[in-house]
Structure 1
Amino acid sequence: MQEFAEIAFHGGSVFTGSGEPITGQAVLVRNGRIMAVVPEGELEAHLGSDTEVIDLDGALLAPGFQDSHIHPTGGGTELLQCNLSEADNAQEAVALIAAYAAANPDVAWIQGAGWSMDHYEGGSPLASLIDAVVPDRPVSLSSRDHHSMWANSAAFRAAGVDANTPDPSDGRVERLADGSPAGTLHEGAMGLVEEHAPAATADLLVAGLSRAQDELIAQGITGWQDAMVGAGVGIPDPKDAYYRLIAEGRLKVRVRGAQWWKRDQGLEQVDAMIATRAEAEALGLPDRFNLGTVKIMVDGIAENFTAAMIEPYRDKCGHATHNKGLSFISAEDLAVYVTALDAAGFQVHFHALGDRAVRDALDALEAARAANGPSKLRHHLAHLQVVSEADAARFADLDAVANLQPLWACHEDQLDTLTLPFMPESAQERQYPFGDLFNGGAKLAAGSDWPVSSADPIAGSHIAVNRISPEADDEPLGGEKQRLDLATIFAAYTSGTAFVNHRDDVTGTIAPGYFADFAIVHPNPFDVAPEDIFRSRVTSTWIDGKCVYVAADISVNSK
């Protein structure tokens, strides 16, 4: 007896997960999976009386996007706290703090995030700005990138941070002339205040994760790699929030979580990580939730001069300094840790932003290969702001995936004022060298680091293709050679991240047997001029063959 499709998509282009989109084809779904891809002329033969037929009306049907590096629980929670991400300048940020304080008089310690470093001189806001509107309650707010914290005087008093408090080895306190804290803490110094602030409640984290899931599904995202399962750098541990959503049947997306490697500890962490991985496996949901990855933060960020560089940063006059950034873990220890994790069957997810951090991470993978032999664990390096030409060519040989955050790869205020003027000359022309990585044979995955920046895959794809912000007249960052074509970056957001997440056999591709996880994009970004890609948007999202999001001004064209 013939089985008819439950859902049929036709009338548009189909991006299958690689290469240029195909046309004249219909995608058939049954029991939550792709049943077949057939010529439109054969569609009628697969339609039953109950088949839902979706007319794409020229739109693009793509595999659901997957984000290879994201912090959803933190991002969702921040939307529920003092959220500064919409502020366009320092004055607006202060106004948002004042408004939040007025609306929440019972919140004893105000927390939140989202301020942008380029809104403040030297990237470091002063406590006095908050003191002017909230003098009587502690306030501590993470920057968008979570590598710095802005606090008021009441927070410093509550934490006991004063002129006599030394900088930790992995961070820095910005100070006034008398040595007292000026208002900003960088990297490990954030913990001086953070450890005294109230911990997020379980209910808040669950609400944050649920909010994040809704926000991300609306952008066509059907899966991700959570880049931090564990507490640190101002982001609470999301593990129990995931477990609650799973228990309540509310986790819709497919998640691979990266357990957080505590840089002040060593190999004694591995046994506990193995136990946590087994705990997740015991849920029996391999296609929905897994904790088989470990995240290691190798260095910091360039804006506060903590990204680990081969050559030193420059001062305001362009002279070389003695600062080459911070390696949170020595190259020797990193090789030991990665070798042990690889032997234990863990995928390693590196935060590696500066060229020395990238080199140390690749050297660690090389050591693991030498000790353990070839691996199918799909280790990957995220951020990759600066990669030396020699190291860009090593990714393919080491089976290391380049995990790109493409939205950052253009000229914008934070890069142009806080980073490029202080970079060594060797690094200034090698910002986010996507083209070199791709041409060197590296596999590519793509993500956002949300809430550091927008999670929108269309916005990220626009930058990867153009290397220029929408409607800007800048020169392409890094030149034409670092641009990717649209098919390549769409593959990174779909089949590429599915590969990183070890789900490339069931997601990231439109082919028979794969889960029916889709994003419908209109207008078809492959049909518009490259400079107009950003105008496309996701109009509906599907998971397991079910429509889980429709844009408010769109109706699904079905019969």
Structure 2
Amino acid sequence: MTRADLVFTGGPIHTGDAARTRATALAVTGGRITAVGHDEVRELVGPGTEVVDLHGKLLIAGFQDAHVHAVYGGMEMASCDLTGTVGVDDYLRLVGEYAAAHPEKEWITGGGWSLESFDGGLPTRQLLDRVVPDRPVLLANRDHHGAWANTRALEAAGLTRDTPDPADGRIEREPDGTPSGMLQEGAVGLVGKHAPAATLADRLAGLLDAQRMLHSLGITAWQDALLGEFGGNPDPSDAYLTAAQDGTLTARVVGALWWDRERGAEQIPELVARREKLSHGRFRAGAVKIMQDGIAENFTAALTSPYLDGCGCATGNSGLSFVDPLALREHVTALDALDFQVHFHALGDRAVREALDAVEAALAANGRRGNRHHLAHLQLVHPEDVPRFAALGAIANIQPLWAAHEPQMDELTIPFLGPERAAWQYPFGDLLRAGATLAAGSDWPVSSPVPIEGLHVAVNRREPGADPATPVFLPEQRLDLATALAAYTAGTAHLNRLDDTGILRPGHLADLVVLDRDPFAAPAEEIADTRVLRTYVGGQEVFAAE
């Protein structure tokens, strides 16, 4: 009898299989699960076996994040980080302190501020000029679809009242046309490209810092949703390849290669070459990311009917489709034929429909090739399109943390959608009932990377720590805990084509997480109190709580 390298006893163990079975013991040999059961698993314990007594703590499959920007998030943690507050005075204090602490920096860069902090979501250059008048400052907002610049940054980029808006973005302006300091979508790159480029060492440090943090949250695998240059941000691909080659990449990572929306099909051969180059060890770049629209808060999410104004009247703006819908069908069909997985950013209902139409065109032309295309964000899904996910095999890649009442939702979104469309937001329950496969992710650093918090909102449709008087956001769209957990484990494993992960069964890789409690045994309102104690990848411990 072959003895196990590692045995967990004293469960519960949530296997995550279709029957939602439970065990009390699990064995690992050579990085894979070799037994799942009860007392009989103890027979695999030998002199060299490490035995972990769970003492009633829950063992689950490792979390997998279906949409994250790990390198950018790690680099942002090391820059001027404005996350954790929504006060304008706090932002200015943090920017001033960071600038004073880093006199050597030619530009002050970072991000994490919230749209809700400013009237209409529009900060001004003059605010930043108060604290940093002598150097350019460029700070991405929390959702990374816009940025706040001071006067020196605008001047460095040559932006004036005569500078036209790019086709895929908008320069917010003062009454005389002068750039106000807020840049939307593609306009960010007009300034960002002038900031000093990050080095490979910067990117690699960002990746490893992010990996440590993500492992501490129980995350064992993820899909990085943007490998390429965008908005002045560097391509993080070389950091992943370096870490994969030198063995410091302990997570399993799928990369989504950026589709340059200013180009067309001529870039496909380059994507094929990059896929070949960027596959080593635990890293492979087998997906292509197409950003089809923007976000609702700045009115660039693509809608099937116009946004409303502050008085509730229809405007002339229905958002932006960054890729022509007919061309999108052709591009996705070509990518599918080459066995790329397409990862769509589709937030508005028109963008969702355009992405589904593209998947449908690919299936009609190529048949079902099993490429597991997926649509991320899904803020608005027209009810007519909900059943199309299951019919087309398109995976619903959800970011549950966004499905709650909070200021950006209540002040910057719902009033401009109106009640009918507001009720179409984040329809997780409808998608599940219609047979869609759900995968889950965070979009960090746009929002918190903590999977436990995402589970909490998916189940409760309220933010952790919300005032008890806060209403549940569209309660009919709540998920049960087992379904939400499956989205963060087996669902994303399926999306990532990591088919020997996500469920605890013999033969699967031993990517495991020990929680400090069994959240199934407590009220749903307490899910967010759960903490990660240990994380394992391939049976090797990559995190242990102190």
For the aligned pair, the TM-score class normalised by the smaller chain equals over 0.9
Residue of structure 2 in register with 1:527 after alignment:
521
**AA matched with 1:306:** T
Post-superposition shift, 1:243?
1.5
Residue of structure 1 in register with 2:447 after alignment:
453
Post-superposition shift, 1:424?
3.6
Residue of structure 2 in register with 1:555 after alignment:
none
TM-score (norm 1): 0.96
Question: Deviation digits for residues 387-435 of structure 1, max 9, x if unmatched?
Answer: 0111011000100000000011100111111111111433111110000
2:231 to 225, 233, 237: 233
**AA matched with 2:445:** P
**AA matched with 2:189:** G
Q: Identify unmatched segments of 5+ residues in structure 1.
A: 553-559
1:177 to 155, 175, 178: 175
CA contact (8 A) 1:320 1:424 kept: no
Distance in 2 separating the partners of 1:240 and 1:43: 43
Kindly indicate whether residue 221 of structure 2 is the aligned counterpart of residue 223 of structure 1.
yes
Kindly indicate whether residue 130 of structure 2 is the aligned counterpart of residue 135 of structure 1.
no
Partner secondary structure for residue 42 of structure 2:
helix
Residue of structure 2 in register with 1:29 after alignment:
28
Post-superposition shift, 1:53?
1.2
Question: Deviation digits for residues 54-92 of structure 1, max 9, x if unmatched?
Answer: 111111111110000000000000011111112231111
Residue of structure 1 in register with 2:479 after alignment:
484
Post-superposition shift, 1:20?
6.8
Partner secondary structure for residue 549 of structure 1:
strand
Distance in 2 separating the partners of 1:18 and 1:466: 23
Question: Deviation digits for residues 93-145 of structure 1, max 9, x if unmatched?
Answer: 11110010000011011111111111111101111111001000000011111
CA contact (8 A) 1:224 1:255 kept: yes
1:495 to 480, 490, 495: 490
Partner secondary structure for residue 246 of structure 1:
helix
CA contact (8 A) 2:143 2:446 kept: yes
Partner secondary structure for residue 132 of structure 1:
helix
CA contact (8 A) 1:312 1:424 kept: no
1:378-397 correspondence runs (5 A):
378-397=372-391
Kindly indicate whether residue 122 of structure 2 is the aligned counterpart of residue 108 of structure 1.
no
Between the aligned residues of both structures, percent identity stands at 52
Distance in 1 separating the partners of 2:365 and 2:152: 51
Residue of structure 2 in register with 1:474 after alignment:
470
Question: Deviation digits for residues 270-324 of structure 1, max 9, x if unmatched?
Answer: 101111111134x3x2xx1111100000000001000000111010111111110
Residue of structure 1 in register with 2:422 after alignment:
428
Post-superposition shift, 1:234?
4.3
Distance in 1 separating the partners of 2:2 and 2:249: 30
Post-superposition shift, 1:471?
3.5
Q: Which has the larger displacement, 465-474 or 395-404?
A: 465-474
CA contact (8 A) 1:14 1:21 kept: no
Residue of structure 1 in register with 2:73 after alignment:
75
2:252 to 238, 251, 254: 254
CA contact (8 A) 1:28 1:37 kept: yes
Distance in 2 separating the partners of 1:17 and 1:384: 25
Distance in 1 separating the partners of 2:446 and 2:155: 28
List structure 1 segments (4+ residues) > 6 angstroms apart after TM superposition. Answer: none
Residue of structure 2 in register with 1:556 after alignment:
none
2:534 to 526, 540, 543: 540
CA contact (8 A) 2:218 2:513 kept: yes
Distance in 1 separating the partners of 2:252 and 2:374: 19
Distance in 2 separating the partners of 1:236 and 1:162: 25
Residue of structure 1 in register with 2:93 after alignment:
95
Distance in 1 separating the partners of 2:515 and 2:231: 35
Residue of structure 2 in register with 1:355 after alignment:
349
Partner secondary structure for residue 120 of structure 2:
helix
Residue of structure 2 in register with 1:365 after alignment:
359
Post-superposition shift, 1:447?
0.2
Distance in 2 separating the partners of 1:247 and 1:359: 40
2:122 to 121, 124, 137: 124
TM-score (norm 2): 0.98
Residue of structure 2 in register with 1:45 after alignment:
43
CA contact (8 A) 2:35 2:41 kept: no
Kindly indicate whether residue 3 of structure 2 is the aligned counterpart of residue 8 of structure 1.
no
Question: Deviation digits for residues 223-274 of structure 1, max 9, x if unmatched?
Answer: 0001001110343211101121122210000000000000000001110111
Distance in 1 separating the partners of 2:186 and 2:528: 36
**AA matched with 2:208:** S
Residue of structure 1 in register with 2:432 after alignment:
438
Kindly indicate whether residue 538 of structure 2 is the aligned counterpart of residue 550 of structure 1.
no
